[in-house]
Amino acid sequence: MTGKNQTVVSEFLLLGLPIESEQQNLLYALFLTMYVTTVLGNLLIILLICLDSHLHTSMYLFLGNLSFSDLCFSSVTMPKLLQNMQSEFPSIPYAGCLTQMYFFLLFADLESFLLVAMAYDRYVAICFPLHYTTIMSPKLCLSLVVLPWVLTTFHAMLHTLLMARLSFCVDNVIPHFFCDMSALLKLSCSDTRVNELVIFVIGGLIIIIPFLLIIMSYAQIISSILKVPSARAICKVFSTCGSHLSVVSLFYGTIIGLYLCPSASNSTVKETVMSMMYTVVTPMLNPFIYSLRNRDMKGALGRVFCKKKIHFSLPW
């Protein structure tokens, strides 16, 4: 690819998590449980939203898409991590590494755009309740899902092609549990200035713009509530937006902390734990935070699984 006569690295070693071998089995069981929970929780939500016609509203269509994206996002890193924890020689081929990086970027971006769409949806629902159905038309909903797909496909492709330009020489040990872009850049023996610039500028925009849009939506929601304060309205806001805000802060807090404020000291442990937060913990918590505690979802569970009973109440 580069045409240079160098020893070309054909595979990378993923060092995985900085853990002692006694804890290996315990952590393996923990991560396996977390991954299975993520898959089942998100599948349940997609299933409920597809099967129950009461949930065919814009909010739930976005939620269904978020669940899909969560499911894929954790499937990009977790199966490989679990496999590597059991193997003596935890390697990943060069092409596999770039593929993992591509899908990691794709689903991470998609997730952040969907969080924006959901924040906008809540903003319209609370600030313009009478025009909600006309504003959030099926056409707008579709574009709010399709546009992110197009944008993220190009964004992930850009970083992956820029990474494919680089050559890797002798050092092929990635001190991480997946093919992280910044870890790969540190290993490369070619000039990485262009990559760093693109990550800083475009990556920064792709993280900062959605984050600002979400903050703006919530600022509007809060200011519209404070104009006519009533206990009922405040309750409504906290029930619909509190959970959303907590996911948003967990997701963006760790990403911004990791990529935009890199620490001077190379503390791999801290970085790995923070990456764990948004690659494993957020996709697992999303379905529970957004929906399984919500009345419409419980109704849908009852309707889908116990069709005969109309008023079915779940014990939680």
Q: Which of 61-69, 195-203, 226-234, 308-316 is the region at the interface with ligand NAG (rule: CB under 6 A)? A: 61-69
Dihedral sign from CA coordinates of 113, 287, 118, 218: negative
* Among residues 9, 35, 52, 65, the one that binds ligand NAG under rule CB under 6 A: 65
Q: Which C-beta is closer to ligand NAG: that of 68 or that of 290?
A: 68
Spatial separation of the C-alpha atoms in residues 64 and 42, rounded to whole Å:
8
Spatial separation of the C-alpha atoms in residues 152 and 158, rounded to whole Å:
10
DSSP 3-state assignment of 11? strand
- Indicate whether 110 belongs to the interface with ligand NAG (CB under 6 A): no
DSSP letter assigned to residue 16: -
Q: Which C-beta is closer to ligand NAG: that of 65 or that of 100?
A: 65
- Indicate whether 145 belongs to the interface with ligand NAG (CB under 6 A): yes
> Per residue, what are the HEC states of 59-85?
HHHHHHHHHHHHHHHHHHHHHHHHHHH
- Indicate whether 46 belongs to the interface with ligand NAG (CB under 6 A): yes
DSSP 85-113: HH-SS-EEEHHHHHHHHHHHHHHHHHHHH
Q: Which C-beta is closer to ligand NAG: that of 8 or that of 40?
A: 40
- Indicate whether 68 belongs to the interface with ligand NAG (CB under 6 A): yes
- Strands of the 173-174 sheet, one edge to the other: 91-93, 11-14, 173-174
* Among residues 115, 118, 141, 214, the one that binds ligand NAG under rule CB under 6 A: 141
Q: How many residues bind ligand NAG (CB under 6 A)?
A: 9
Closest to 175 in 3D by CA, of 87, 94, 90: 90
Q: Which helix (H) or strand (E) holds 173?
A: strand 173-174
- Indicate whether 31 belongs to the interface with ligand NAG (CB under 6 A): no
- Indicate whether 64 belongs to the interface with ligand NAG (CB under 6 A): yes
Q: Which of 57-65, 78-86, 178-186, 217-225 is the region at the interface with ligand NAG (rule: CB under 6 A)? A: 57-65
Q: Which C-beta is closer to ligand NAG: that of 60 or that of 178?
A: 60
- Indicate whether 49 belongs to the interface with ligand NAG (CB under 6 A): yes
Read off φ and ψ for residue 190, nearest 5 degrees. -100, 180
**Cβ distance 289 to 243 under 8 Å?**
yes
Least distance from C-beta 54 to ligand NAG, angstroms? 14
Q: Which C-beta is closer to ligand NAG: that of 26 or that of 142?
A: 142
* Among residues 9, 17, 59, 61, the one that binds ligand NAG under rule CB under 6 A: 61
How many Cβ atoms are within 10 Å of 252's Cβ, its own excluded?
Answer: 20
Q: Which C-beta is closer to ligand NAG: that of 14 or that of 114?
A: 114
Closest to 302 in 3D by CA, of 54, 60, 66: 54
Q: Which C-beta is closer to ligand NAG: that of 65 or that of 84?
A: 65
- Indicate whether 113 belongs to the interface with ligand NAG (CB under 6 A): no
Q: Which C-beta is closer to ligand NAG: that of 139 or that of 232?
A: 139
* Among residues 36, 40, 142, 222, the one that binds ligand NAG under rule CB under 6 A: 142
Q: Which of 32-40, 137-145, 148-156, 282-290 is the region at the interface with ligand NAG (rule: CB under 6 A)? A: 137-145
Read off φ and ψ for residue 297, nearest 5 degrees. -70, -40
Spatial separation of the C-alpha atoms in residues 34 and 30, rounded to whole Å:
6
Residue type, 260: L
**Residues of the shown chain interacting with ligand NAG in the complex, contacts defined by CB under 6 A:** 46, 49, 61, 64-65, 68, 141-142, 145
